[in-house]
Chain A
């Protein structure tokens, strides 16, 4: 195989489906004479990838010509290898793992061990672990350490905490108020407190800050459903301060909602 000195071709993209890197960088020999066969192997492989973004080694093909074309595509960054071969940009990442794990957790109201959330494929496990840690940090997922003969951590989607089956089944369609009330119940139960930070209410509800604040100001306060409290400004986090609502000339960090 010719050496891998590279140059840029002023050529138009032969395949609009391919990422830009596929036509910007080609091996040195391509400038001179691209053997008909070689071009066709490369082209065929790319077409295969456009049909299925993930191909195993056997699906790629084991002939020397195909392997050579594959190596070129890998070297060019057109194709990437993780647990299998993927068209660049379509390979698994922490983000795709987060989406997959979230979907899995949302599918059932149960406690999942990490083993059932992480991919069985060794190469994907580190991505899954990072994804899970991020979801916990973002409080989308709650982790519950269980101590016994063998300690482990179980996971559950935050929306399932302290809610009835009926509520869970209707979760995607719930109106703003219902989601806020459920989030308040969750937060209040988890903290064992009547008042919880407004920032926590926003986070637990999954709504935007403005949706929650609008409901508090336009519905909760006029209906006297909520009690806003100052909390302690000095010890409040930036998130808590950002979520504060002013009432009676004072900024309030905490909220209690009347049943």
Chain B
């Protein structure tokens, strides 16, 4: 028997892996409810004691893949909506710069909308960083009012209003109180706020200015980008340092590596301490199975978690893993002294038959199925057969049973080829621009792993030439390639690297010798158009190695990494991490050739300038929201047609990011927008 819904060409049970917790679909409330409430209670305890350190990392294990670890993290995010600042962390790939890697993830995660509440929506939904900055500044000002340091002589501004009223906003508020706060912050209110921070012993006095300028500058502006760079501990250009009014000593350094890594750790520490004036952080380390492949990284992971729980206040750390891998490979390799920093594990359980039935109803609800179809699908005999001999089933295993039933498969569907699975991953990465944000660990893994899969290539660590390169490929008689994984650097640093690139070329005559940097779409161009003096030299020396990625190229490389991580975690049915690695070695072979290719003169040409796309305006967002709400579900191409001329796919996808009620289900041949409200 096959099932169909009018207008729906996809299988509603197709999507059975939660890649990122924020995309977690509706959940069965009773499933693993005890674990969820235990985590919420642990978080409440952190919230009640914001200066304490030493809470153990909460360990969540599943007896097999498919029990919903990432899904549980997604539910935890929803449960702690408006109570926590939520950070989802994937495995880092470097020991020496692990804190930098974590800090980059944190700042990227802070760009997610503050609210995942599907019932509320506003045009300019604040980001987590907006909310954090507003919260900290408003609370500090309110404290100053309470202590009598600020006297309101005219008008009305009470501390409680300041703490609770969303209308008062330093960033976007247009009422007189907000305007007054903005106008008087730097000269009058800032010192009163700064003095409250002395006991925290923050490593920088620039924090409040940076948060203020971040809030009050427009998105995409140089000042706002500068604030984000400062938060990521990236060196700022002098003009930005001046605009922010911070001392030259507050400008982050770019080298040496250990100093940068330690400074990033201190940034994370400061973030959490400052957040005492707002909300605690919730850190979730997922896909930890990847660490089993590298003992050095695994041990560093243990040290990272221990340092977080021992030294960072005002945060809860959650670690998820598969039990077998955790017990046999990860835990035994974590230093003895670090093991007791993990809580007694909480083990996920599967769905019972009542919960399974509820899950089917939840999955089909957005498509408003006829009751007759629903009854037919929920046939008791079929459910009894599925649960024959067992009380519970892992959620994914049950979803796969549903998928087969929907498609009318009489026998278990054969394992699809990896190429087909990879296509599904690509579809997901195409429609989620945030998943393509620059992540240096993706490229570290590619360069050490699938791209280096040629017996002629010897990949080694090399940071002797410059602190901004980490790895080297040597191909005897053919090429000497250095790889760096930096995000943004000061132009003086790029110039230094250009000099190193020239010297490297001279050192290896007759060979392809260059320094390669992957530059994804969200990064600044190198050189920037404003670097009029150094720009040409930088372009000439580094041009051959600057791999400026198109949207599709970023999609392929990021999806490759995710496919591998999911396979290592056991989430790619029928394939191990090794299988995926072999597949990617073939699939990405052209990248190897591209990297080893001799430079062509075209690199000297100034690259075509990317014009930043215009963000969707309020009327477009409202139009899209109304359309999807009315239709309940429709394909992306139908939505484009109905929204009329001038609507691009990128604009529509960007708009979807701003409307939490719209869920995207991506398939290789179709993207479906589903109303979740």
Contact = CB atoms under 8 A, between A and B. Distances in A.
Interface of A: 191-195, 197, 221-222, 224, 226-236, 247-250, 253-254, 256, 258
B576 A195 contact: no
27 contacts: A192-B345, A193-B323, A193-B345, A195-B323, A195-B347, A197-B324, A224-B389, A224-B390, A227-B350, A228-B390, A229-B63, A230-B63, A231-B63, A231-B64, A231-B324, A232-B64, A232-B325, A234-B577, A235-B292, A235-B324, A235-B328, A235-B329, A236-B324, A249-B412, A254-B323, A254-B324, A256-B63
Contacts of A248: 397
Given A232-B322, A235-B328, A254-B324, A194 B389 contact: no
A234 B65 CA distance: 12
Contacts of B350: 227
A195 B3 CA distance: 36
Size band of the interface chain B makes with A: 20 to 34
Contacts of A253: 324
Given A227-B390, A227-B392, A193 B64 contact: no
Contacts of A234: 570, 576-578
Given A192-B344, A193-B323, A254 B63 contact: yes
Contacts of A192: 344-345
B63 A247 contact: no
B391 interface: yes
B327 interface: yes
Contacts of B61: 193
Contacts, number: 69
Contact of B324 (A194, A224, A227, A232): A232
A227 B387 CA distance: 11
A230 B65 contact: yes
Nearest to A195: B63
A224 B329 contact: no
A191 B323 CA distance: 11
Nearest to B61: A193
Contact of A222 (B64, B323, B389, B397): B389
A231 B390 contact: no
B392 A193 contact: no
Contacts of A231: 63-64, 323-324
B577 to A, nearest CB: 7
A150 B64 CA distance: 42
Given A193-B61, A221-B390, 9 more contacts: A191-B327, A224-B389, A224-B390, A227-B392, A229-B394, A232-B570, A234-B570, A234-B576, A235-B328
Nearest to A253: B324
A233 B572 CA distance: 13
Contact of A193 (B327, B349, B577): B327
Given A231-B324, A235-B325, A224 B391 contact: yes
Interface string B318-346: 00001111011100000000000000110
Interface in B329-371: 329, 344-345, 347, 349-350
A234 B325 CA distance: 9
A110 to B, nearest CB: 28
Contacts of A193: 61, 63, 323, 327, 345, 347
Interface string B40-74: 00000000000000000000010111000000000
A195 B394 CA distance: 13
Contacts of B325: 232, 235
A234 B571 CA distance: 12
Nearest to B412: A249
A230 B324 CA distance: 10
Given A192-B345, A231-B323, A247 B390 contact: yes
Contacts of B65: 230, 232
A253 B322 CA distance: 13
Contacts of B64: 229-232, 254
Contacts of A249: 412
A221 B63 contact: no
A228 B322 CA distance: 15
Contacts of B577: 234
Contacts of B329: 235
Contacts of A228: 390
Nearest to A240: B324
A232 B289 CA distance: 11
Nearest to A194: B347
Contacts of A221: 389-390
Nearest to A228: B390
Contacts of B347: 193-195
A240 to B, nearest CB: 9
Contacts of A254: 63-64, 323-324
Contacts of B391: 224, 227, 258
A230 B350 CA distance: 12
Contacts of B349: 194
A225 B390 CA distance: 8
A236 B570 CA distance: 13
Nearest to A197: B324
Nearest to B292: A235
Contacts of A256: 63
A118 B61 CA distance: 41
A235 B65 CA distance: 13
Nearest to A192: B344
B415 to A, nearest CB: 11
B255 to A, nearest CB: 39
